Structure 1
Amino acid sequence: MTPERTNKVLQNATLAIDALGTHGPMTAPELAVALEMPRPSAYRLMSALVHAGLAEQSADGSVILSSRWLHLGDAALRGMAPWFHSDDVLEQLRDETGLTVFLSVGRGNEAVCVRSLHGQNFQVLVLKPGGTLQFYQGAAGRGLLAFGEVDPAEYLRAAPFPAVTPHTLCTAEELAADVVRTRELGYTVSDEDVTIGVAAIGVPVLDGRGGALAALSVAGVRDQVIGHEAGLADILKSAAARIAEASLPVD
């Protein structure tokens, strides 16, 4: 098989996996429509995914992603934060605040969620393990913009960014001021800038050199967060310090 043919096969397989992950069970005709490919090609593609163990065929003929992806996804998330061994800290944080807890790491210009624990109102929250926020969005994204490796001035050259809600900080001026405020306070406040009715507080998990390993945040309905920022930030900073301490190599 030529390199060009190999690349095309891999590209189609990736598109099919993404489609199954987004839409759930699909038949070959449905996949053909979604990917704008001939039906015979869709049948061959689905058969190959099933044969490789990456998909499973249901009794009705539709195909779903196999349980193998659970293992692969968990391994990928662990690989993004190999230093993290503090699930008990996240559980304590969730129990103490009653809010949903997120641990996110920076990748490119995104904050990638690698851990989440549901709080009392998890149904209103959209960020799940593997999910992402841009650096101008949310407590995790804006916290990593302020404390992470990306140069904020360089990042903000691409502003203004598209608004997610009427409260999203979009302009370079708004976000530059937010970076200054976040560094002064040591925490980030997200007030309905990603999801209406939802607010969050985030702090950096710092390594021994003062760089950000990750962003630790809690989120819930707005009334649970706004008006309680300082107290929640203190709890988060304590939890972040425990995570950072556990991540340091033992001499």
Structure 2
Amino acid sequence: MSRLDESRLVGSDRVLAVLKELARHADGAGLEELTRAIGSPKPTVHRALGSLRRAGLADQDARGHYVLGDEFLRMAFAHHEARPEHVRVRPVLESLAAHFGETSHYAVLDGREVVYRAKVDPPTGAVRLTSTIGGRNPAHATAVGKLLLAHRLTTREDVAAWAGTAELVRRTPRTRCTVEDLHRDLARTREQGYATDHQENETGVNCLALPVFLTSPSAPSGALSISALAYRTPLSALVEALGVVRGLLGPMGEAR
């Protein structure tokens, strides 16, 4: 979290800002560190931490550092496990990870970003991806994001309106960062029925994504992907195995 404008942090906003910053520190963070990150006075941050601790959403470890509380973790995991989409797509992700020996994801679109709702690492392999459930990436730089954008942004005007005046983040030298390039990529995705990410979000990582239809017969609820280390699974190998991926996905991958 970048330093926040103090004038925008009032009441519960400050508490939520502290909670979000606390989530960035798995090993805990001291009051001074949190104060610098939030950009609010130390007494304000201390009061916010007190509110979070009384609710069980934060705690203090033996070093005096603040960490997320057990109640927060219980709620988060319970909510995640109860999501129907997570339960339904998990067996497919496990089959894909085992078949390819690579990481599989299920992600949804949230504005200009994708959010990973489920992830399965390969059962074997010394090198694995650092993506996390709940993590985010720019939609235009990922296969899952481009797949979902292709269903929503069908014209160049749609792409331009979505991009707006903000510059599209360039994650690698291969990232599509212009309206024209992204529009062409989305058109190709619609024609193919799948999307690819050829080291556009992370150097050394290729990705193939297909739509998943869980809540609507015509609009994808999210996208499934195989994210592979390029040195051991080139993008061409993923595309050649498209039939295998569609077979494992089954009816969930078919629009009706």
Q: TM-score range by the shorter chain?
A: 0.7 to 0.9
1:32 corresponds to: 35
Q: Find the counterpart in structure 2 of residue 21 from structure 1.
A: 23
Task: Note the C-alpha offset of 1:83.
Answer: 7.8
Contact 2:147-2:210 within 8 A present in 1 as well: yes
Partner of 1:125: 129
Taking the aligned partners of 1:77 and 1:152, their CA distance within structure 2 comes to 35
Backbone CA RMSD of aligned residues: 2.6
Q: Percentage identity across aligned positions?
A: 25
1:176 equivalent among 172, 183, 197? 183
Q: What residue ranges of structure 2 are gaps of 5+ in the alignment?
A: 1-8
Report the more deviating stretch, 74-83 or 55-64: 74-83
TM-score (ref. length: structure 1): 0.83
AA at the equivalent of 2:77: D
Within 5 A, what are the aligned runs for 1:221-236? Answer: 221-223=229-231, 224-236=233-245
What residue is the counterpart of 1:52 in the other structure? 55
Counterpart secondary structure, 1:74: helix
On the 8 A contact 2:113/2:137 being kept in 1, the answer is yes
CA-CA distance at 1:122 after TM superposition: 8.2
Secondary structure (helix, strand or coil) at the match of 2:236 reads: coil
**Cα displacement (A) at 1:51:** 1.3
The number of equivalent residue pairs is 239
Cross-structure match for 2:227 = 219
Q: 1:108 to 1:34 in 2, by over 3 A?
A: closer
The alpha-carbon distance between structure 1 residues 122 and 135, as it changes in their structure 2 partners (threshold 3 A), is: farther
User: What's the CA shift for 1:191?
Assistant: 0.9
Is the contact between residue 101 and residue 116 of structure 1 (CA under 8 Å) also seen in structure 2? yes
- Quick check: 1:41 aligned with 2:44? yes
Of the two structures, which has the highest relative contact order with CA contacts closer than 8 Å and spacing of 6 or more? 1
CA distance in 2, matches of 1:32, 1:38: 7
Residues 210 and 253 of structure 2 are in contact (CA less than 8 Å); yes or no, is this contact kept in structure 1? no
Does residue 144 of structure 1 match 2:148? yes
**Aligned-pair CA distance for 1:87:** 1.8
Q: How does 1:183-202 map to 2 (within 5 A)?
A: 183-202=190-209
Which whole-Å CA distance do the structure 2 matches of 1:155 and 1:43 have between them? 44
Runs of 4+ in 1 over 6 A off after TM superposition: none
Superposed counterparts of 1:64-79, under 5 Å: 64-77=67-80
- Superposed CA deviations along residues 26-58 of structure 1, whole A, max 9, x for unmatched, are 122222222222222222222221111001111
Do the aligned residues in 2 keep the contact of 1:161 with 1:171 (CA within 8 Å)? Answer: yes
Picking from 5, 12, 15, the partner of 2:14 is 12
CA 1:32 to 1:48, structure 2 compared with 1: closer, same or farther past 3 Å? same
Alpha-carbon offset, residue 204 of structure 1: 0.8
CA, structure 1 residues 150+110, in 2 after alignment: closer, same or farther (shift >3 Å)?
A: farther
Q: Which runs of 5+ in 1 are unaligned?
A: 1-6
3-state SS, counterpart of residue 24 of structure 2: helix
1:101-143 deviation line (CA, Å, top 9, x unaligned): 0001222333221100012568553432111233211111111
TM-score by length of 2: 0.82
3-state SS of paired residue (1:165)? coil
